[in-house]
Amino acid sequence: MLEAIALSKTYGAHTALHPLDLKIEPGEVYCLLGANGAGKTTTINLFLNFVEPTAGQAKIAGLDVTKQSIESKKHVAYIPETVMLYRNLTGLENLEYFTALAGVEKYSEAQLRGFLRDAGLPQQAEDKRVGVYSKGMRQKVGIAIAMAKKAGALLLDEPTSGLDPKASNEFSELLKRMSGDGVAILMATHDLFRAKECGTRVGIMKQGRMVASLSTSEIGHADLERLYLQHMHD
């Protein structure tokens, strides 16, 4: 569903991403780990065609994201690290707008409110201007927007940043459910525990290189942490 083929990105002399090969099948949850500046966001932005690849290819549902940019975006939902919304619109209106842009089926108002509730947004916030939302509340609207799109692939850039522990936990449950529905998920995160918990595979990045890639079933939580720190040290 998500595929990188020798995908790389350089900024001048600096290589943000060395050639990367990656394939994420439906139902897989791939967690990208790595220090700040390792290239996680770069990888996700390449899939979204927000930055142009220096070489290689990124594909979503078999579509080259640079050549079929618009078409490929029908198959992917995205939650950025900080979800920013139209601040004069309510949470509900934002959801309405973005699902309209997504071009998916027309939901009833009750269904839209259902998505917001599933994402954990307090009901009384639904009709308030987003301008008065906290970061976590916006994040939840972002989650609702992603869910409502019913896309086959999900790109997540530290989606739980700003979420309280309960919401974080619920989000993990949500990911598991979506993975069960056959959604391919690529998630950048700093949370080793959650990566082990809801990921099916993890990849460790360092200075733009994928230095390790393994299945979470092969490894315990403590081992994952040890492996991660070991890579960071040398």
Partner 1 sequence: MLRNIIRYDLKNLLAERSIQAVAALFALLLAYGLWNGIRWNEHRRTTIESVRKEQQQRLAALPGRIAQAPSQGLPAFLDPRMPSVAGGREATPYLILPPQPLSGLSVGQSDLYPFYLRASTQSASNILSADEIENPDNLLIGRFDLSFVLVYLFPLLILALSYNILSAEKEQGTLALTLSQPVSLGRLMLGKIASRAAVLLALAIGASAAAAAATGAPVLSVPFALWLAVLLVYAAFWFALAVFVNLLGKGSAVNAVLLSAVWVSLTMVVPSALHMLAGSLYPVPSRVEMIQAMREASREATAKGSTLMARYLEDHPELTPGGSSTVNAADAASRSLAVQEETERLMAPVLGRFDRQLEGQRAILQRLQYLSPAVLAQGAMNSLAGSGPERFEHFRTQTVGFLGRWRAHFARLVLAARMLTPADVERLPRFVYADEDPGAVVARVALSWLGIFIPSAVIVLLSWMRMSRTRIVSA
Ligand X SMILES: Nc1ncnc2c1ncn2[C@@H]1O[C@H](COP(=O)(O)OP(=O)(O)OP(=O)(O)O)[C@@H](O)[C@H]1O
Interface residues toward ligand X, by CB under 6 A: 11, 14, 16, 34, 36-42
16 binds, among ligand X, Mg ion, partner 1, none (CB under 5 to 8 A by kind): ligand X
Sketch the per residue contact string, 20 through 49, with Mg ion: x for CB under 5 A, - otherwise: ---------------------x--------
Closest distance to partner 1 from the beta carbon of 89 (Å): 5
Q: Least distance from C-beta 183 to ligand X, angstroms?
A: 22
Q: What is the DSSP string of the chain?
A: -EEEEEEEEEETTEEEEEEEEEEE-TT-EEEEEE-TTSSHHHHHHHHTTSS--SEEEEEETTEETTTSHHHHGGGEEEE-SS----TTSBHHHHHHHHHHHHT-PPPPHHHHHHHHHHTT--GGGTTSBGGG--HHHHHHHHHHHHHHHT-SEEEEESTTTT--HHHHHHHHHHHHHHHHTT-EEEEE-S-HHHHHHH-SEEEEEETTEEEEEEEGGGS-HHHHHHHHHHHHH-
Site size with Mg ion, rule: CB under 5 A: 1
Q: Which residues of the shown chain bind partner 1 in the complex (CB under 8 A)?
A: 45, 48, 50-51, 69-71, 73-74, 76-78, 80, 82-89, 93, 96-98, 100-103, 129, 142, 145, 155
Question: Minimum CB separation from ligand X for residue 48, in Å?
Answer: 13
**40 or 196, CB closer to partner 1?**
40
What does 36 bind: Mg ion, partner 1, ligand X, none (CB cut-off 5 to 8 Å by kind)?
ligand X
Nearer to partner 1, 90 or 172 (CB): 90
Interface contacts to Mg ion, rule CB under 5 A: 41
